[in-house]
Amino acid sequence: MLQIRTDLAAEAREVWREGARLGQRLAGVRAREGRVEGFPVTRVEILDWRGREALGKPEGTYLTVDLSAYFRDRSGQFAPAARAVARLLGELLPAEGDVFVAGLGNRSMTPDAVGPLCVEHLLVTRHLKAVLPGFRPLAAAAAGVLGTTGLESAEWVRGLAQRAGAKAVIVVDALAARSTDRLCATVQLSDTGIIPGSGVGNARQALSRETMGVPVLSVGVPTVVDAATLALDLTGGRPPARTPGWGRELFVTPREVDAKVAELGKLLGYGINLAVQRGLEVEDVAALLQ
């Protein structure tokens, strides 16, 4: 049977609720809505095996912020959006210790480039401990994908994070969504790590506390929708019986994806900087990156 594909826990919860029987309760999951810096936030906590099986996601916390308002009206919205990402990430990030940020994805494929582009906007401070003693040490890399490096993402991330003495790893990657409304307009943060490529049916080795040996936080942006998932979503779960090309691995991405991904890379970079270097403002980060 065809399945709706999504990397977002908030969407997985929506899918479960749509298919649930009247009065059926979603056990093992706690969810609530709120706002951070004026942007809507959905908090989903998968508490045990029941929630894990129902939503198909590992146990942990998933924070999803809707930045649609930012992309509708960018005037004066960059700083609040960056602070929203920082506040949510700050809830998950250990308070102390060196941090390693891994920008996952293929820089040559625009919908997959958000991770590498994010790294370009980070305040890398690990090598400046002597001259910037008040800054938390941060190292970062965007090595590429298996097809261009011969290395699984988990291999190079683990090796570099251990070499850097990181006490926490942040992985930034592109995701797949169910709804086109969320494309390049939503950020999901979680403390469960990530399985690179899972959203496009090419799952690789997981990056998690179990495989890395330290807390692994993920920051992801949906940039594609699986075409079959889109058809199911648009037809209420009843796709046409004879859809041309049905079953092929096709993905839909938004118009102007290059500009949106570049802007999101900058936004996530600033958000991570503010979460790691607490006390800085957006203006401080901009001045330090120049």
Domains and CATH numbers, the chain: 9-289 (3.40.50.1450)
d(C-alpha 86, C-alpha 63), whole Å: 12
Give the orientation angle of helix 78-92 with respect to helix 282-289, to 10 degrees.
Answer: 100
DSSP 3-state of 233: helix
Contact (Cβ atoms closer than 8 angstroms) between residue 103 and residue 112 = no
* Residue 230: per-residue pLDDT: 73
Q: What number is the average pLDDT over the span 252-265?
A: 89
Q: Which pLDDT score is estimated for 1? A: 44
Q: State the average pLDDT over residues 147-165.
A: 87
Report residue 114: phi and psi, to 5°.
Answer: -65, -35
pTM summary value: 0.90
Among 182, 204, 176, 206, smallest CA distance to 194 is for: 206
pLDDT the model gives residue 124: 95
Across the chain, mean pLDDT equals 87
Contacting residues for 259 by C-beta, under 8 A, at least 6 apart: none
